Amino acid sequence: KKVLETVCHNCGKIKALDTEERRQALKSRDSRTKFERIWRLSKPRLICEPSPPTDDDNPKASKLPDHGGCGNVQPMLRKKGLSLEATFKKGKTEDDEDQGNETVRVYARRALQILNLITDETLEMMGLNKDYARPEWFILQALPVPPPAVRPSVSPDGSGTGARSEDDLTFKLTDIVRANQSVTRCDVDGTAEHIKND
């Protein structure tokens, strides 16, 4: 969650502006401290600041901090149970009426896309090791599990004699296999995304 709050969801850059506070945070030798300080500076930023427009008539424009972002609105992330929700603040209408907020659930696939945008230089600035702690590795993409036919049956009383049955893990594995087959079938049939997510 903290990594997703630190980087832009569209370009993968750190949201914190290039200020003296950020420069001090980047000088931290302890990677935990560096990440914590960068996160605290990035979390309240609700827009990825774009580069200022180049103006030949204004010499002071070149002295403005160049963030180099994409200019997109960033969400506030909230953990709800085991899932993440992104709340985007909408702007005001012409009548100065507040349009409210739009809340979207952040699925693992979207989180993985965001984490894949982070460059090695950005990881270094955040205090993460690009060789041993890439954020996209935080999301499991493959889970090696023996097939149900290979899993041994167990005896309920533990003695090894008597009736044998499947354990709870085998039943759960069967449920997962069925769910994966259902998702694959939905992909082939071209089912809507919100139905696949359920």
Q: Do 62 and 146 fall into the same domain?
A: no
pLDDT tens-digit series, residues 77-125: 999 888 888 888 876 655 556 677 888 898 888 999 999 999 999 899 8
Q: Do 162 and 180 fall into the same domain?
A: yes
What are the residues facing 47 on neighbouring strands? Answer: 73
Do 115 and 139 touch, CB atoms closer than 8 A?
yes
Q: Do 67 and 52 fall into the same domain?
A: yes
Residue 181: pLDDT over 60 = yes
State which H helix or E strand residue 3 sits in: helix 2-6
Cα 60 to Cα 56, 64, 66: the distances in Å are 10, 7, 12
Residue 24: pLDDT over 60 = yes
Q: Do 103 and 158 fall into the same domain?
A: no
Measured in whole angstroms, the distance separating CA 149 from the mean position of its chain's CA atoms is: 35
Least confident of 69-73, 97-101, 137-141: 97-101
* Segments forming the whole domain that contains residue 91: 2-138
pLDDT at 156: 66
Q: Do 128 and 151 fall into the same domain?
A: no
Q: Do 105 and 157 fall into the same domain?
A: no
Q: Do 84 and 162 fall into the same domain?
A: no
